[in-house]
Amino acid sequence: MTRLSVNINKIATIRNARGGNMPDVFKAALDCERFGAQGITVHPRPDERHIRYSDVRQIRPAVGVEFNIEGNPIPSFCSLVEEVRPDQVTLVPDAPDAITSNAGWNTLKNKEFLSGMCARFKALGIRVSLFVDPDPAMVEGAAACGADRVELYTAAYAENYPLSPEAAIATYLAAAKAARAAGLGLNAGHDLNLQNLAFFVRTIPWTDEVSIGHALICDALYMGLEQTIGAYLAELKK
């Protein structure tokens, strides 16, 4: 079954908006695990507007499920990854002022840089995933860089799903087939939700992991965190 990794950035956003430690991000990470999440994802940014580097250091040794750190491999991020040794690092080419991730890597133009990053983290036993658009050429480029997995940027899928699920997923299916042919693991993330998740994993059942944060936390405002995680796990089982 496709695994659910809960991105807890938005919980940190709420905390940071008021100051203090409410909600408690560390407790939330442990609760997500207790409620059935099979992974915890964090995406620290240079301005620490949500997850802070100190959060990462506190959470990493406490969780028993897979720990995934996402981010642009700037020097401070790389040093953090080397310090805490996550199970997986997902490299994302987001600009410092980006509100959220909005594009995948061009793995062909950035081959030399990404190859070095993959080798650097894999030498420490960390699985490396590259965030890419649903383009078979970018997927094949990720394999040439030495990545272990790709994470497909699913914003376009989510946007077009209400119009035609089959059309929305066509490019993703092609990219996913390219990943499988190249021997890469497959992750997916961005704007996946309770409406579009089941169709995605039913169409691409070899998806290893989905990382979901914004939609899941929004649902939790109404349903509660435990019930929401259960609902997402149920969608993955359909």
Q: Are 104 and 131 in contact (CB under 8 A)?
A: yes
pLDDT digits (tens, 9 = 90+) for 20-46: 999 999 999 999 999 999 999 999 999
Query: Structure tokens of 120?
Result: 């650097």
**pLDDT at residue 221 above 90?**
yes
Task: Please state, rounded to an integer, the average pLDDT across all residues of the chain.
Answer: 96
Residue 221: CATH number of its domain: 3.20.20.70
How far, rounded to the nearest angstrom, does the alpha carbon of residue 176 sit from its chain's CA centroid? 16
pLDDT digits (tens, 9 = 90+) for 9-27: 999 999 999 999 999 999 9
Residue range of the domain that includes 83: 3-237
Distances (CA, A) of 34 to 31, 220, 234: 5, 15, 16
Q: Which one of 66, 190, 209, 235 is the catalytic residue? A: 190
- Per-residue pLDDT, 94: 84
Distance, in Å, from the CA atom of 33 to the CA atom of 154, rounded to the nearest integer, reads 24
Q: Which of 81-90, 91-100, 225-234 has the lowest mean pLDDT?
A: 91-100
- Per-residue pLDDT, 103: 85
- Per-residue pLDDT, 95: 77
Return phi, psi of residue 115, to 5°: -60, -40
- In this structure, the dihedral spanned by the alpha carbons of residues 64, 30, 206 and 224, taken in order and rounded to 10 degrees, is 160
For residues 88-103, b (16+ Cβ closer than 10 Å) or e, as one string? Answer: bbbbbbbeeeeeebee
Mean pLDDT for 166-181 is: 98
Q: Are 137 and 175 in contact (CB under 8 A)?
A: no
Q: Which one of 33, 70, 140, 151 is the catalytic residue? A: 70
**pLDDT at residue 166 above 90?**
yes
- In this structure, the dihedral spanned by the alpha carbons of residues 220, 224, 230 and 236, taken in order and rounded to 10 degrees, is -10
pTM of the model: 0.95
pLDDT digits (tens, 9 = 90+) for 101-147: 778 999 999 999 999 999 999 999 999 999 999 999 999 999 999 99
- In this structure, the dihedral spanned by the alpha carbons of residues 169, 130, 102 and 203, taken in order and rounded to 10 degrees, is 10
**pLDDT at residue 99 above 70?**
no
* Structural domains counted in the chain: 1
- Per-residue pLDDT, 51: 97
Question: Is 214 among the catalytic positions?
Answer: no
- Those residues whose C-beta lies under 8 Å from the C-beta of residue 81, and which sit 6 or more positions away, are 69, 89, 121, 126
The secondary structure element, H or E, covering residue 89 is strand 88-91
Q: Which one of 43, 66, 140, 235 is the catalytic residue? A: 43
pLDDT digits (tens, 9 = 90+) for 222-234: 999 999 999 999 9
